[in-house]
Amino acid sequence: MKKQQGTIIGLLSAAFVWTVSSMCGFSEDAKPERLPARIVVAKVIGDVNATNQADKTTRSLKQNDVIFEKYTVNVGSESSAVLIFANGAAVNIRANSSLVIADFLQDPFSEPYSISTATEEPTTSITNLNLTKGEVVCNVKKLHIGGDKGSSFVVNTPVGAAGVRGTTFSVRYIAPAGGNGKASYILSVTEGAVSLSDSTGNSTLIPSGRAGTITAEVTTDPVTGAVTITEITNIELIDVTPEQKAEIQAASEEVAAVEVNALNIITSTPQVAPPIVNPEPTSSPNP
């Protein structure tokens, strides 16, 4: 019943070194509470834009731009974007994708932080991403998950959600044409382990080298865009194919250019940056 879709899997890392003032926009006197943290647009290929959910303005993204939570990033055909989060996570948004940054909050920190050498996030953070179509490849540093204010990193789709503690993985959601019909979900893990939960509450731990797939029949409200699931299969575990594993190296080479330009990106980013606003909205990329 299920057919595995090709998935691009990549290792993402970036040699970014920054302080709290350059990434999170916090002052030394800031209170130790979670605040909206910065997301640097480290690399852009082709047609990529971001929509501010608050005022619905949209603008094209370019390298070194800074965005925050409550933005939707749309990537067109033959395009991609690499986002570097202040908690050390890297997200590669693939072609024909739409990613909502629903929440990204982080505790302030003042010590220099090097993503290339760090094995865990600098301070606790909350990240909730909604993938409405397409594919993202993520590399997440080890999260501080203990206590009442522990960290979380979740990639949601209409049919499944990936909960992460620190790993490299890919999520692909293939929405049906026109919004109604069969939807496919694929979670592929190349490092660590990821908890996959479906819309019914069932969950399975996906280890390294394995992928979890879900197929569902869905309908989409033409006005609100809300997705209703009418039928869903159980989570199925399959092996990540040799072809997919080979693509890890290709994705690593793509990110190499980001590493080379790391210091330039950080030093060229204003110390305090407002959310992106464009007085002349542009249309989203064609699906």
pTM of the model: 0.79
Residue 285 lies in a domain: no
Residue 256 lies in a domain: yes
Residue 215 lies in a domain: yes
Instruction: Tell me the mean pLDDT per 10 residues along the chain, length 287.
Output: 39 38 43 80 95 95 92 97 89 95 89 78 94 92 82 95 89 91 93 92 93 94 90 93 73 58 41 39 43
pLDDT of residue 45: 95
CATH of the domain at 76: 2.60.120.1440
Instruction: Classify residue 37 by its DSSP letter.
Output: -
CA pair distance 173, 184, nearest whole angstrom? 6
Residue 107 lies in a domain: yes
**If you search the block for the tokens 């997919």, which residue do you land on?**
244
Residue 287 lies in a domain: no
Instruction: Classify residue 177 by its DSSP letter.
Output: G
pLDDT of residue 32: 56
Q: Which residues contact 185 (CB under 8 A, 6 or more apart)?
A: 157, 159, 160, 171, 172, 173, 174, 213, 214, 215, 216
What's the domain count of the chain? 1
CA pair distance 85, 91, nearest whole angstrom? 8
Residue 275 lies in a domain: no
Which alpha helices (H) appear in the chain, and where do they start and end?
20-23, 242-260, 262-268
30, 52 Cβ separation under 8 angstroms: no
Q: Which residues contact 209 (CB under 8 A, 6 or more apart)?
A: 189, 190, 239, 240
- Structural domain harbouring 210: 17-268
Residue 5 lies in a domain: no
Residue 157 lies in a domain: yes
Rg of the chain in Å (alpha carbons): 18
pLDDT of residue 7: 38
Burial 257-273 (b: 16+ CB within 10 A, else e): ebbebbeebbeebeeee
Burial category of 15 from C-beta neighbours within 10 Å (exposed 0-12, middle 13-18, buried 19 and up): middle
CA pair distance 161, 163, nearest whole angstrom? 6
Tokens of 273: 């940056």
